[in-house]
Amino acid sequence: MEGVQPSIPQNPTAINQGDLLPKGTNANPHLAAANGLDNVNVKPLVKHVLSKESQELFAKLSGALIDETNIEWQNAALAAIRTEPGIHQLTTYLLTFIAEKVTHNVKNLFVLQQMMQATSALLDNQAIYLDPYVAYMVPPVLTCCTGKYLGPTTHTASSNASSETLNGVGANGHGSNSPDHFRLRQLAASILSRICQKYGSSNQGLKSRIARTCLRQFMDIGKPLGTHYGALLALLIITGNEGMKMLVLPNLKIYNDDVLKGALADEGKKKDAERVLAILVEAIKALGSTTAATMTNGVTDMEGLRDRLNDKVGDIIADQIISNKFSAAAQVILETDVNI
């Protein structure tokens, strides 16, 4: 997704709740429906002519947002976007500014963070009617959530993964002292959730489309773990336990075997893999809250379930379930048909 943002139609075809369930006959049937938001044309935003005062305001806001030297200006700009009623006149200009900055600054975590903060501020402004602009808001946020490489690339072709880790350079290619791309992905995921909550009913199919796109990004083994992290986090925030059961659970065995095993054994990828695994463990734990466990809580009793859990979710995730004594979650997993 570097520099190329997916888009969604402003008025998508209605999608039933059942569309959260993947369908199809591909090699991985659970990804067949993940056609998501790509390759759909969106008409460009139409900007109305601004008064001289509005033009000056936009110039001040846009300049302050990306001025790394002046935090006060940054905060003042965000506060204005968040609270000033007159900002509605600048909506199309701000959305275009955000989209362009994200597209052309995927290596600049500060700019990306500021654009997400600006998007969040727009969502906060009660005087702005954003419903018609949802199609233009989502792509930059998705980029910051699931982008392949976010932040500066500091390693060279001759550097190996081990030396990168020792030098404080993460799997996404930026130093440990830099802004954290994981925090950026968390912010973007929360914004996607807000958009779905606020505009999902008036933009039919929005939630399902975003969910499919996130599922596809999560299950693309060619994408880095940062992408998997952001996609999984957004998917689970948006769809909750239902999404975990219907979308993620059927794919856990594949993900366990094709991604987690190798990544956890690779020192250069281990920390990022552990982040993804931590999200999965929390989501599995939450599954247990959906049912009353009928099995006895205890490692001894759950040990007998290891082979059955391995078949469902893979050995690494099965070990997590057993070691954390998630008996209720184990029951839900074993009772769920993952061969949808």
Q: Which residue, among 82, 66, 83, has the nearest Cα to 74 in the 3D structure? A: 66
Share of the chain above pLDDT 70, in %: 74
- Tell me which residue of 136, 39, 156 sits closest to 94, measured CA to CA: 136
Residue 201 clears pLDDT 90, i.e. is over it: no
What is the distance, to the nearest Å, from the Cα of residue 181 to the centroid of all Cα atoms in its chain? 12
Predicted pLDDT of residue 302: 58
Q: State how far the Cα of 234 lies from the Cα of 210, in Å rounded to an integer.
A: 9
Whether pLDDT at 167 is above 80:
no
Of residues 41 and 72, which shows the higher confidence score? 72
Look up residue 260 and give its amino acid. L
For position 181, what pLDDT does the model report? 94
Q: Higher model confidence: residue 89 or residue 115?
A: 115
Where residue 264 falls among pLDDT bands split at 50, 70, 90? very high
Residue 171 has pLDDT above 90, yes or no: no
Predicted local distance difference test score (pLDDT) of residue 339: 60
Residue 230 has pLDDT above 50, yes or no: yes
User: How many other C-beta atoms are found inside a 10 Å radius of the C-beta of residue 213?
Assistant: 26
Pick the range with the lowest mean pLDDT from 166-175, 185-194, 225-234: 166-175
pLDDT grade for 4, boundaries at 50, 70 and 90: very low
User: What average pLDDT score do residues 224-236 get?
Assistant: 97
Model confidence pLDDT, tens digit, residues 273-307 = 999 999 999 999 999 887 655 554 444 455 678 88
pLDDT-derived band at 87 (thresholds 50, 70, 90) equals very high
User: Tell me, what's the pLDDT at 202?
Assistant: 86
**Residue range 30-56: mean pLDDT, rounded:** 58
Residue 296, pLDDT score: 46
Tokens of 240: 């909750």
Q: What does the pLDDT average to over 237-249? A: 95
